[in-house]
Structure 1
Amino acid sequence: MKTSEPFLFLQGFLKNPKRVGSVLPSSKFLANKIVQSVQWDEVTTIAELGPGTGAITRLMRSKLPQSATVFLFERDPKMRSNLKKTYPEIMFHSNASYLLKRIHQEHIDQLDSIICGLPFFNFSREMRQNILSQIHTALRPGGTLVLYQYSLHMKKRLADLFDIEKIKFVPLSFPPVFVYTCRKTKDEGHSETRESVF
């Protein structure tokens, strides 16, 4: 019998709350908001970091052509196994700290977009910096990062690396969440916050 997604997510949280970061999967409101933040006609290569039980993955996969290259990084082995059964065509990895290594192994230089739900607040400073640096390097100039977090603690760090095009607050999620839409600048000049909408 297939384990329900909320129960699977709760199991993962109880086992390792710092890695999972929430007691429930992403709400349909959050998943929709994230998917709406990506310009899908520009995307042929994408990575999702921390897909959990796949609430966003489902919508993301429906937007992409079958020829798209998709990488999913999920630490929880049960969630990763569950997703593998549903999406056998996707490349799965366990640790986002090896993002660059994994995409280069598949002869992909850079990605068009990255969706990230990793709980950065729970990570050490070194791990946070390492993953953010790899995200920045992995994105092509003009590529987009859509990141969702439960606070605004990442705003300054993100503004140092990207153009923050908008920040959306999604109250219909537990807990409520902020969705950052960021773009890697083509000239790699100073990034700044262009628009914040709450």
Structure 2
Amino acid sequence: MLLNRKVKSIGVDKWLFLKKFFRNPRDIGSIVPSSSSLTQKMLEPVMWDEISTIVELGAGTGVFTEAIHASKHSDCKVAVFEKDDEMRNRLQGLYSEFDFCKNAVELKKSLSDLGINKADVIISGLPFANFSQSDRSQIISQIKEILHEDGVFVTFQYSLQMKKMLQEEFAHMRIHLVPWNMPSAFVYVCRLKTTLVKNN
């Protein structure tokens, strides 16, 4: 019974994502939700026992949100950003203990309103390639301000368009290809400091 509900939920997510993509492909960025392989690679750098605050940008149907909910410890504070009202309201109903915000361009102010000054981890599903240069710069600049000096920023894109910008903005950046995603995705793992880098 639980498995059937899970399969049904996945189907609903895919149809919702498809509907949103055709209505606004610029903001959604993909025709299907992220795969389990991509989710695993995105959350691989997170030291769950050591973090107290995690921020997710561009949650969509909540593939990463669900994994964050399953992995975090009880005292970890979670803030989720999703611009689309329908998808954000749906996630808020599923994860009522999380804080939800709308616009990642207002990242710093929104987190400040929640009493969050620094984040240990920032996970992003934002389609930066579809954004204006101004919006990209504003969001990345705020990410650097919000991110704890020992923290990690992880994002994925479907191209290497963001490579140069992220290399210039972060002291350390590593890229991982996830071929078992549709389409194949590049995961960028970015840090403000190089001294803490181990395997990710």
TM-score normalised by L of structure 2: 0.89
**Corresponding residue SS for 2:20:** helix
Aligned to 2:49, what secondary structure does the other structure show? helix
How far, CA to CA, are the matches of 2:158 and 2:45 in structure 1?
Answer: 17
Q: Paired residue for 2:3?
A: none
3-state SS of paired residue (1:114): strand
SS at match of 2:151: strand
Q: Is the 8 A contact 1:8 1:78 kept in 2?
A: no
For residue 177 of structure 1, what is the aligned residue in structure 2? Answer: 185
Decide whether the 8 Å contact of 1:73 with 1:95 is kept in 2: yes
- In structure 1, the residue matched to 2:56 is 48
Q: Write the distance in 2 (CA, Å) between the matches of 1:92 and 1:32.
A: 23
> How far is 1:165 from its partner?
4.3
* 8 Å CA contact 1:46, 1:112 repeated in 2: yes
Determine the structure 1 residue equivalent to 2:106.
98
Q: 1:70 aligns with which of 62, 75, 78?
A: 78
Give yes or no for contact 2:171–2:194 (8 Å, CA) kept in 1: no
Alignment of 1:53-132 (within 5 A): 53-132=61-140
Q: Residue in 1 aligned with 2:162?
A: 154
> Contact (CA 8 Å) 1:142, 1:186: kept in 2 or not?
no
Q: How does the TM-score come out when normalised to structure 1?
A: 0.90
What do you get for the CA RMSD once the two structures are aligned?
A: 2.2
Deviation at 1:142, TM superposition (A): 1.4
Give the unaligned 5+ runs of structure 2: 1-7
CA contact (8 A) 1:141 1:186 kept: no
Q: Does the CA contact (< 8 Å) of 2:172 and 2:194 recur in 1?
A: no
| Cα distance in 2, alignment partners of residues 133 and 163 from structure 1 | 14
Structure 1 partner of 2:172? 164
Q: Does the aligned pair in 1 maintain the 2:79–2:98 contact within 8 Å?
A: yes
Q: Given that residues 119 and 147 in structure 2 are in contact (C-alpha distance below 8 angstroms), is that contact kept between their aligned partners in structure 1?
A: yes
Aligned match of 1:133? 141
Aligned to 2:42: 34
Q: What fraction of aligned residue pairs are identical, expressed as a percent?
A: 41
CA deviations on 1:69-116 (whole Å, 9 max, x unpaired) are 111100111111111111001111110011100111122211101001
**Secondary structure of the equivalent of 1:42?**
coil
Partner Cα separation in structure 2 for residue 166 and residue 15 of structure 1:
33
Q: 1:19 aligns with which of 27, 36, 40?
A: 27
CA drift at 1:186: 7.8
Q: Distance in 1 between matches of 2:189 and 2:112?
A: 25
> Could you say what secondary structure the match of 1:46 adopts?
strand
Q: Work out the CA distance in 2 between the residues paired with 1:38 and 1:89.
A: 20
SS of 1:100's equivalent? Answer: helix
In 1, distance between residues paired with 2:26 and 2:97? Answer: 29
In structure 2, the residue matched to 1:190 is: none
Q: Check 1:132–1:165 CA distance in 2 against 1; reply closer, same or farther (3 A cut).
A: closer
Query: Could you list the runs of 5+ residues in structure 1 that have no partner in the other structure?
Result: 188-193
CA distance in 2, matches of 1:157, 1:166: 13
Which amino acid counterpart does residue 163 of structure 2 have in structure 1? Answer: K
